[in-house]
């Protein structure tokens, strides 16, 4: 196990060096072996697999390894409140792709960072900092900050805040984290975050009757979060004119703040602290309601259009909306065909929560269910219209009391992904790395990358003398 883990870190590190500080774009799709699988016919039995390897995988070419766990962290003296949630990486800048970040979805939330080069995990935002609770969202910002937010909101609450960690790579965990509430964004129960190519920020309100939002910065090309969040306007989505629920069709955006982020007269509903209640304000402009919208993912099509996908856990649906055509579609539901059976997937698709996108632009759907029922589905959309022709069960998790969350495909290695095992009965949250056996030419690149990594290490050693 230790040998596999170390080897995996070396491979990831090699690709990290190969990728360098390259900017991540999804417009250029890369081949991946993750879409080469035979769909599982059913879920794995609960408790049938070890927590160190909790998934039944759909291809013999896939493998898994645990690269971090809470028990180890506590044993090392790391403050760690558990319930590890969404995952992202440092997608730009020096050493891009080296670190993974996850918040804790607890009443004393914090943020941890996994170093894929060294295998070490550090808590870099201490649990309970600034009263941070229910950390869920996890997104790398275009300027190099790390965004997370609170999945906790209700009328009169002081929560529902968006936070930025402005020094995610250099924070040491010794109270030096620059963790800042970005109060210009209206308060909601946050989960999914997504940036489009113009650097507008999309987010949701996780509620039965929650809305979809867009924040447009007055300085979209800002090089830091202070400037990006200094001024901007937030809008709520209306589909087919609004005052409706679970709608598909034409999209318009209704402003719920003024152009600098302040209250819009006669529209914005203020909290006691002067911040804006995004939920009540969306209701005031007749925003379209969805039933517990949760995660978001964005993909770029060949024509340059971008499409945002989001889940609705209560209604077991996935929606997509095209930012070019301003059209909302139902992407997947119980009526979508199950590739394993040829029949409608029905209730076997239950509580879709998280979304992920691989290097080829394929969308994956992660269920919020206990072990033995919690599956990850592959959505097959061959014509890229945002509507899945079929769903295939890609992986199934067995850990008792847990749910898989935060599936994240490495932006610098098309055959590596990461997923968290959250709130198991054992209390040993884990991060699992899933790898796919690459095609021969990709494997040759891996070996070349390992050689390059060795060369870089030798140069560093020589320069240190």
Which tokens go with 30? 């890369």
Q: Cβ contacts of residue 377 below 8 Å, gap of 6+?
A: 349, 352, 364, 365, 366, 367, 391, 392, 393, 394
Q: What secondary structure letter does DSSP report for 24? A: P
From CA 315, how far away is CA 291, in angstroms rounded? 6
Q: Cβ contacts of residue 426 below 8 Å, gap of 6+?
A: 51, 399, 400, 401
Which tokens go with 265? 């007269």
- Write out the E strands in 358-429: 363-367, 374-380, 390-397, 403-409, 416-422
pLDDT at 388: 98
How high is the mean pLDDT of the chain? 91
pLDDT at 444: 57
Which tokens go with 102? 């996850």
Phi, psi values for residue 371, rounded to 5°: -55, 140
Give residue-wise pLDDT tens across range 358-396.
999 999 999 999 999 999 999 999 999 999 999 999 999
SS3 string, 412-452, reads CCCCEEEEEEECCCCCCCEEEEEEECCCHHHHHHHHHHHHH
In this predicted structure, the answer to whether residue 433 has a pLDDT above a threshold of 80 is yes
Q: State mean pLDDT over 147-176.
A: 96
At 19 the three-state DSSP class reads helix
Question: Which of 108, 207, 107, 109 minimizes the C-alpha distance to 154?
Answer: 207
From CA 463, how far away is CA 465, in angstroms rounded? 5
DSSP 134-168: SB---EE-TTS-EEEEBS---TT-S---EEEES-T
pLDDT at 29: 75
The β-bridge partners of 356 are 364
From CA 89, how far away is CA 463, in angstroms rounded? 28
pLDDT band at 355 (very low <50, low <70, confident <90, very high): very high
Phi, psi values for residue 225, rounded to 5°: -70, -30
- Neighbour-count burial for 45-72, b at 16+ CB within 10 Å, e otherwise: ebeebebebbbbbbbeebbbbbbbbbee
Give residue-wise pLDDT tens across range 24-54.
344 457 899 999 999 999 999 999 999 999 9
Give residue-wise pLDDT tens across range 273-294.
999 999 999 999 999 999 999 9
Q: What secondary structure letter does DSSP report for 113? A: E
Query: What torsion do the CA atoms of 390, 396, 402, 408 make, to the nearest 10 degrees?
Result: -70
What domains does the chain contain, in order, with CATH numbers?
2-463 (2.120.10.30)
Give residue-wise pLDDT tens across range 324-344.
999 999 999 999 999 999 999
In this predicted structure, the answer to whether residue 102 has a pLDDT above a threshold of 90 is yes
From CA 457, how far away is CA 431, in angstroms rounded? 27
From CA 146, how far away is CA 88, in angstroms rounded? 9
The β-bridge partners of 405 are 420
From CA 177, how far away is CA 170, in angstroms rounded? 8
Tally of CB atoms within 10 A around 248: 16
Give residue-wise pLDDT tens across range 61-94.
999 999 999 999 999 999 999 999 999 999 999 9
| Spatial contact of 419 and 66, defined as CB atoms under 8 Å apart | no
């Amino acid at each position: 196990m230790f040998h596999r883990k170390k080897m995996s870190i070396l491979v990831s590190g090699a690709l990290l060096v190969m990728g360098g500080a390259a900017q991540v774009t999804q417009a250029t799709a890369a081949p991946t072996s993750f879409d080469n699988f035979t769909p599982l016919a059913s879920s794995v039995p609960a408790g049938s697999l070890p927590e160190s390897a909790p998934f039944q995988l759909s291809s013999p070419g896939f493998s898994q390894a645990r690269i971090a766990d809470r028990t180890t962290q506590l044993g090392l003296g790391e403050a760690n409140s558990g319930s590890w949630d969404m995952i992202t990486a440092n997608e730009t800048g020096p050493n891009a792709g080296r670190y993974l970040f996850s918040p804790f979805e607890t009443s004393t939330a914090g943020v941890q960072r996994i170093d894929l080069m060294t295998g070490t995990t550090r808590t870099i935002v201490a649990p309970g900092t600034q009263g941070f609770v229910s950390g869920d969202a996890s997104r790398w910002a275009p300027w190099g900050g790390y965004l997370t937010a609170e999945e906790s909101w209700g009328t009169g609450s002081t929560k529902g805040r968006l936070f930025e960690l402005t020094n995610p790579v250099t924070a040491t965990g010794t109270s030096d984290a620059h963790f800042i509430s970005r109060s210009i964004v209206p308060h909601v129960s946050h989960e999914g975050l997504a940036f489009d190519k113009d650097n507008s920020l999309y987010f949701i309100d996780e509620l039965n009757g929650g809305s979809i939002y867009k924040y447009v910065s007055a300085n979209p090309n800002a090089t830091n979060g202070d400037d990006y969040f200094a001024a901007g306007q937030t809008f709520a989505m209306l589909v087919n004119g609004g005052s409706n629920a679970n709608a598909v069709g034409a999209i318009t955006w209704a402003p719920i703040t003024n152009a600098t982020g302040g209250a819009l007269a006669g529209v914005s509903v203020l909290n006691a602290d002067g911040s804006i209640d995004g939920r009540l304000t969306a209701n005031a402009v007749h925003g379209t309601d969805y039933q517990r919208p949760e995660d978001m993912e964005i993909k770029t099509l060949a024509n340059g259009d971008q499409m945002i996908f989001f889940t609705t856990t209560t209604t077991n649906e996935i929606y997509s909306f095209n930012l070019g055509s301003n059209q909302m579609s139902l992407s997947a539901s119980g009526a979508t065909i199950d590739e394993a059976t040829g029949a409608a997937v029905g209730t076997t698709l239950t509580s879709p929560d998280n979304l992920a996108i691989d290097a080829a632009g394929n969308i994956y759907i992660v269920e919020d269910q206990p072990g033995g029922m919690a599956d990850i589905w592959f959505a097959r959309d061959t014509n890229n219209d945002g509507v899945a022709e079929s769903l295939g069960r890609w992986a199934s998790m067995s850990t008792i009391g847990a749910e898989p969350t935060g599936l994240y495909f490495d932006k610098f290695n098309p055959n590596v992904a990461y997923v968290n095992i959250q709130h198991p009965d054992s209390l040993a949250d884990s991060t699992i790395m899933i790898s796919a056996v690459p095609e021969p030419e990709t494997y040759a690149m891996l070996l070349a990358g390992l050689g390059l990594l060795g060369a870089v290490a030798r140069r560093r050693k020589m320069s240190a003398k």
